[in-house]
Amino acid sequence: MKQLPASIWTLTVGILVTLIAVWVGNNSHFFPEQASVQAPLVDNFFNLMLMIATALFLLVAGTIIFFAIQFRQRPGDEGDGVPLEGDFSLEAYWTLIPAVIVIVLGIYSVEVFTEMGGFAAGGGGGNHLLMSHHHHHEMKAQLVSDEMSEPTPEFEAKYGLGGAGKPDVIVTVTGMQYAWIFNYPEGITAGELHIPVNKSVQLNIKAADVIHSFWVPQFRLKQDAIPGQDTELRFTATKVGDYPIVCAELCGGYHGAMRTRVYVHTQEEYDQWLAENLVAQNPDLSKTVAVHTEH
Amino acid sequence: MAQAQLPVSGEFPVASGHHPTAWKWYDYFTFNVDHKLIGIQYLVFSFVFYLIGGLMAVVMRTELYTPDADVIDPNLYNALLTNHGTIMIFGWIVPAAIGGFGNFLVPLMIGARDMAFPRLNALAFWMLPPAGLLLVGSFLFGGAQAGWTSYPPLSLITANTAQSMWCLSIILAGTSSILGSVNFIVTMVKMRVPSMSWDKMPLFCWAMMATSILALLSTPVLAIGLILLLFDINFGTSFFKPDAGGNVIIYQHLFWFYSHPAVYLMILPIFGIMSEVIPVHARKPIFGYKAIVGSSMVICFVGLFVWVHHMFTSGTPPWMRMFFTVSTLIVAVPTGVKIFSWTATLWGGKIRYTSAMLFAIGLLIMFVVGGLSGVTLGTAPVDIHMHDTYYVVAHFHYVLFGGSVFGLYAAIYHWFPKMTGRMLHEPLGKVHFLLTLIGANLTFLPMHVLGTQGMPRRVAMYDPQFTQINQICTIGAFILAFSVIPFLVNVIWSWGWGEKASGNPWRALTLEWTTDSPPIIENWHRLPVVTHGPYDYGLNHHQEMPTTPAHS
Amino acid sequence: MTTAPTPTELTLPQEAHHDDHEHHDFRMFGLLTFLVSESLMFGALFAVFLIFRSEFPAWPPEDTEVELILPAINTVILVSSSFVIHYGDVAIKKGNVAGLRKWYGITALMGIIFLAGQAYEYATLGYGLTTNVFANCFYIMTGFHGLHVLVGILLILGVMWRSRIPNHYTAEKHVGVEMAEIYWHFVDVIWIILFVLIYVLAFVN
Ligand code: HEA
Ligand code: HEA
Ligand code: CUA
Ligand SMILES: [Cu+2]
């Protein structure tokens, strides 16, 4: 019963495992909705790993359970098993195959990370060498414009996710026990984040007391707010709606309550929101509103 | 079933006359230098702390049954989670696996009469009770509340007294761990019976070697981190005070330089236990002895260079995020080698489904889940979403509970007869296994979903959309708490009144089984001579091991 | 599910040829292993120091400068004491206990002078532990090292105390003497690195 069907068995098992793994990889509904350009990158990468992990798990766990049943002690058999101490080619296989998988995942990580803007952290400063040349002009432009567009001149992020070029919206985010404060260069202070859809947004993140972590699950983006060290997040929201902003780093007793929301508006709604708040918060500026919203 | 009290082996006079032949119960509460007694001291001590840490978890899970912070004060919740993590690591897994089984088994497995420095050994153990008392006592001052990672500045501004006690406690435990490691290394290098060459040394000892090297290299760095933290809290320095020029990220590097290796400190000895338990109960030589030794060493080495994967969303420059992504992924390879080798060891075996073996096989499957989720966390792009969520909590409970705790249970079922001279009750052991398996998966599997969907960790109050899944977790935790009862009953009853164990009830081939159960003081009347490998099952190197059915 | 017990004595009956109750002295190996761990402790402090140094525009910052002459003299004393202590080791290898005591005594004295110099420096520096991050590093690093010097002196004094007992140390048996020496060398090497980091680098900005 062992010899002939063995290869057929292997084939069937292989196909089955592959099918299940591919299905799981493509049908996991664990993630919340995707609302930023980075979200699908993360999800696809995760789902690929989930697929590989499912396949590996089914193979390993399946083999273990199969062996556990097949090679159980039969009643009355007090003897020992096959005195097999190793097998070089088998061991080489199960070292090399995982090594290849891992290398592929490593390369893919770097690629996804680059696409997410990981290497552009630090006002685009870090990515000159690593990103391709067509960003060059924008880069220079940005280095200049950086100074001017910063809401607080001394802001200097070395960490986070960055991007080339001048962002459409810049917001300074300050984490404090237990709230997020959002400052717009236009002179608005808010407890919630308002941004336009499909526009590049630059968050300059600071912490006032202890470490906090700015996280929007629907954006798949997270960056710690670190006292004494500025960080940044550059992203583009892709779906109108409102999503939770969650503090992810333990920051005291009410860390769990440090939640607010991000509102992704259409450009018109956003402009309107800006205008309303500008007037509300800076009554004397009401005349210049039109200029500011003209971006 | 005889009436004999704590196992005594009075029949043979011990070779050197200046010791009694067996210890009395009160010796277990003294500064005794016998490695076996110290091992048992470690195990009992750590299990008590496991119960305390587990109780904290149960209270936390009760709080998390509802989205609001309605059962306990959120600050108390933070104190519980901090001390739950700390106690489970420094009070349970590390002392039980390294201190407990390491001390009991290493000299016995290499044919030594004791550790190289018995008094140092006792000293290392007796640093733990004060460390434990400091943690428990810190609750009088509100308890440390900054998580087991104790990142400043939060740790500098909350519960200063309790936080300082926490620091001192960990410094004590760390010193104990360094002294223990020195002892293990010297013992294994210098005190093997002359007939035991390196390639005949049991794999548990190899695992302890890797563990000790890792502890020796990483613990001092944590000690420095905590000393600086202590100075910042109490003596006005500002290493980690940003407004005075300090840098909070440096602490994170110091902490994780130790604490990532620490997770391997908690799994390498368990890997060693697996390599002992599986061959014995499968009646098979271990598959790929050299590969397993090598992979322990590779894990030990690579494990020193992956720590920044805990800091992907922190103040970490891009190149570092990528470097540590790759180094982290590499660890999967040597770990896989071990998993596959144990699986291959099962092949062609005649597997005895003892409780020890059930926990070992359960571990194999549970650990793979935790390891694979670890790999997904190891990539920076995914970790940016998953970091500090319940997905991470799920990951580390799969490796720590499904790995380390399952492994410790396997070890207890396997070596209890050797330690006490009594067998554990097998059916009760199986009940324990089933409850633990169900409880663990019910508690920790749904947490993957929680984290992915957006629930952060270390929160006492959460978004109501997560209520249902949290309730499943809480029910699982109750089952886990309940699962301890059959185990405790089993251990207490068997220790006193269980079936007597022979010197070698599992017919195993490593040296600890060549002496009485429990071993006499100084272990052997005459040191054993190694005539075969530790895993030569089914090989006819010796007639003592019947390879054909033999009933007795 | 049964496990058949078999006789205990699997490998026991073979002859044990050697005296297995002999007490070997593994202390030296133990000490060396321990010192590996210790060096990482200092290594961590050095790393912290260097990270801060790379972050600050001026290191040491203004008003917390260090001086060079006194520490340099101190360095010379400590480094030469490493040679002095070695003479003690050479002496005991020839069975010369009096020589051992002489050289170890001088070493201890040099150690004490070093500590006194250190204390004098602390007293005259004009800033304290909490002045700024550099001062934090300075006092923690030199203080932690000073603590090790103190332990070294105590070890040396311990060796001298024990050397009163006739035949406690002989030409063949003097592990304790060597351990004190190795520890002293270790403390010395650490100081050299410390000296370079704190004092020499302060002048090569
Ligand atoms: C026993 C303890 C233990 C063990 C063994 C591990 C093992 C691993 N861990 Fe885990 N980890 C923890 C305990 C442990 N961890 C703890 C306590 C934390 C949280 C700390 C805190 O923040 O409080 C943590 C957190 C943690 C993080 C940080 C998450 C975050 O906070 O954002 C990461 C990220 O990289 C990580 C990765 C890994 C990896 C890659 C492994 C690997 O070693 C796993 C290797 C194993 C396998 C991969 C499975 C078997 C292999 C195969 C079947 C071969 C084929 C596989 C492939 C080709 C992929 N762990
Ligand atoms: C080996 C390590 C280990 C083990 C075994 C466990 C075991 C358990 N852990 Fe643990 N856990 C950690 C290590 C571990 N944990 C770490 C490191 C953290 C991170 C901390 C941090 O963020 O800083 C953590 C965090 C953590 C959290 C996240 C808290 C948060 O982020 O808000 C949760 C939540 O459910 C949890 C639950 C549990 C549960 C239900 C168990 C169960 O397995 C426990 C089962 C219970 C028992 C076995 C005891 C039952 C006994 C009784 C009820 C009777 C008691 C009687 C007497 C005392 C006499 N743990
Ligand atoms: Cu702010 Cu958590
Ligand atoms: Cu880690």
**Which pLDDT tens digit goes with each residue over B144-195?**
999 999 999 999 999 999 999 999 999 999 999 999 999 999 999 999 998 8
What is the reported pLDDT for B27? 80
- Range with the lowest mean pLDDT among A56-65, A131-140, C44-53, C193-202? A131-140
Rounded percentage of chain A residues whose pLDDT exceeds 70: 82
What would the mean pLDDT of C141-161 be, rounded to a whole number? 95
DSSP C4: -
Q: pLDDT tens digit string along B307-319?
A: 999 999 998 888 9
Place of tokens 């680098």: C201
Of C14, C21, C37, C142, which to mutate for an interface test with B (greatest number of B Cβ within 10 Å)?
C37
Compare all CA atoms of chain B with the CA of A65 and give the residue at the minimum distance. Answer: B361
Q: What band does A295 get if pLDDT is binned at 50, 70 and 90?
A: very low
- Checking if the pLDDT of C43 tops 90, the result is yes
8 A C-beta contact, residue B184 and residue B106: yes
8 A C-beta contact, residue B180 and residue B39: no
Query: With a CB-CB cutoff of 8 Å, which residues 88-147 of chain C face chain B?
Result: 129-130, 132-133, 136-137, 140
C-alpha radius of gyration, chain C, whole number: 23
How many helices (H) and strands (E) chain A has is answered by: 6, 11
What would the mean pLDDT of B16-38 be, rounded to a whole number? 77
Q: The sheet that has A221-225: what strands, in order across it?
A: A193-196, A259-265, A241-247, A212-216, A221-225
Encoding tokens for residue B253? 């590097």
DSSP C8-44: S-SSTTSPP-S-TT-----HHHHHHHHHHHHHHHHHH
- Checking if the pLDDT of A150 tops 60, the result is no
CB contact under 8 A, C41 and B426: no
- Checking if the pLDDT of B56 tops 80, the result is yes
CB contact under 8 A, C30 and B116: yes
Query: Would you call A40 helix, strand, or coil by DSSP?
Result: helix
8 A C-beta contact, residue B389 and residue B456: yes
Helix (H), strand (E), coil (C) string for C101-145: HHHHHHHHHHHHHHHHHHHHHHHHCCCCCCCCHHHHHHHHHHHHH
DSSP C72: H
CB of residue A175 inside a 6 A radius of ligand 3: yes
Query: With a CB-CB cutoff of 8 Å, which residues 138-177 of chain C face chain B?
Result: 140
- In angstroms, the CA B158 to CA A112 distance is 39
Q: pLDDT tens digit string along B246-290?
A: 999 999 999 999 999 999 999 999 999 999 999 999 998 999 899
- Checking if the pLDDT of A78 tops 70, the result is yes
What is the reported pLDDT for B524? 86
Q: Which residues of B touch A82 (CB under 8 A)?
A: 284, 347-349, 538
Does residue B387 sit at the A interface (CB-CB below 8 Å)? yes
- In angstroms, the CA A78 to CA B545 distance is 11
> Ligand 3 atom 1: the closest Cα is on which residue?
A212
Helix C27-55 with B203-234: angle, nearest 10 deg: 50
What would the mean pLDDT of B87-115 be, rounded to a whole number? 94
- Checking if the pLDDT of B38 tops 80, the result is yes
What is the reported pLDDT for B541? 52
End-to-end CA distance of chain C: 74
Rounded distance from Cα B376 to ligand 1 centre (Å): 9
Encoding tokens for residue B370? 């935790």
- In angstroms, the CA A258 to CA A268 distance is 29
CB of residue B346 inside a 6 A radius of ligand 2: no
Q: Measured in whole angstroms, how far is the alpha carbon of residue B312 from the centre of its chain?
A: 26
8 A C-beta contact, residue A206 and residue A181: no
Task: Name the minimum distance, in Å, from the CA of A263 to any CA of chain B.
Answer: 17
Task: Name the minimum distance, in Å, from the CA of B455 to any CA of chain A.
Answer: 8
Place of tokens 């932690």: C144
Rounded percentage of chain B residues whose pLDDT exceeds 90: 78
Peptide bond into B334 cis (omega under 30): no
> Which ligand is nearest to the Cα of residue B375, counting in written order?
1
CB of residue B475 inside a 6 A radius of ligand 2: no
8 A C-beta contact, residue B152 and residue B240: yes
Q: pLDDT tens digit string along B228-258?
A: 999 999 999 999 999 988 999 999 999 999 9
Closest ligand 1 atom to the C-alpha of B89? 17
Q: Residue A71 is nearest to which of B145, B349, B376, comparing CB atoms?
A: B349
C46 φ, ψ to 5°? Answer: -60, -45
A222 φ, ψ to 5°? Answer: -145, 140
CB contact under 8 A, B372 and A57: yes
- Checking if the pLDDT of B349 tops 60, the result is yes
Q: Which residues of B touch A83 (CB under 8 A)?
A: 284-285, 536-539
Q: How far is CA B468 from CA A228, B471, B477, C47, in A?
A: 39, 5, 14, 47
The residues, ordered by sequence, that sit 6+ positions from B541 with a Cβ below 8 Å of its Cβ are B531, B532, B533
8 A C-beta contact, residue A160 and residue A232: yes
What is the reported pLDDT for A88? 87
Q: How far is CA B470 from CA B398, B460, B462, B463, B484, in A?
A: 17, 12, 10, 11, 22
Q: What band does A155 get if pLDDT is binned at 50, 70 and 90?
A: low
- Checking if the pLDDT of A278 tops 60, the result is yes
Helices (H), A71-133: 88-116
Query: Would you call B145 helix, strand, or coil by DSSP?
Result: coil
Of A167, A258, A267, the closest CA to residue A215 belongs to: A258
- Checking if the pLDDT of C13 tops 90, the result is no
Task: Name the minimum distance, in Å, from the CA of B461 to any CA of chain C.
Answer: 37
Place of tokens 């001088």: C106
The pTM assigned to this predicted structure is 0.91
Encoding tokens for residue B465? 């959309």
Q: pLDDT tens digit string along B488-536?
A: 999 999 999 999 988 888 988 889 998 888 888 888 888 888 888 888 8
Task: Name the minimum distance, in Å, from the CA of B31 to any CA of chain A.
Answer: 40
End-to-end CA distance of chain B: 18
- In angstroms, the CA B248 to CA B240 distance is 5
Q: What band does B296 get if pLDDT is binned at 50, 70 and 90?
A: very high
Encoding tokens for residue A108? 């893919």
Place of tokens 């800091």: B311
- Checking if the pLDDT of B539 tops 90, the result is no
The residue among B346 and A148 whose pLDDT is bigger is B346
- In angstroms, the CA A182 to CA B63 distance is 32
8 A C-beta contact, residue B521 and residue B19: yes
What is the reported pLDDT for B535? 86
8 A C-beta contact, residue B162 and residue B142: yes
What is the reported pLDDT for A5? 66
8 A C-beta contact, residue A61 and residue B368: yes
The dihedral region occupied by A76, where left means phi > 0, alpha psi between -120 and 50, and beta the remainder, is: left
What would the mean pLDDT of A207-222 be, rounded to a whole number? 95
Place of tokens 């440090």: A258
Long-range Cβ pairs for the range B10-14 (8 Å, 24+) = B12/B520, B12/B525, B14/B520, B14/B521, B14/B522, B14/B525
Does residue C4 sit at the B interface (CB-CB below 8 Å)? yes
- Checking if the pLDDT of B547 tops 50, the result is no
What is the reported pLDDT for A73? 85
Q: Which residues of B touch C11 (CB under 8 A)?
A: 511, 514, 528-532, 542, 544
Cβ neighbours, 10 Å, residue B495: 16
CB contact under 8 A, C34 and B182: yes
- In angstroms, the CA B300 to CA B310 distance is 18
- Range with the lowest mean pLDDT among A146-150, B410-414, B508-512? A146-150
CB of residue B84 inside a 6 A radius of ligand 2: yes
Q: pLDDT tens digit string along A11-52?
A: 888 888 888 888 888 887 889 999 999 999 999 999 999 999
Does residue C23 sit at the B interface (CB-CB below 8 Å)? no
Counting every residue written for chain C, the total comes to 205
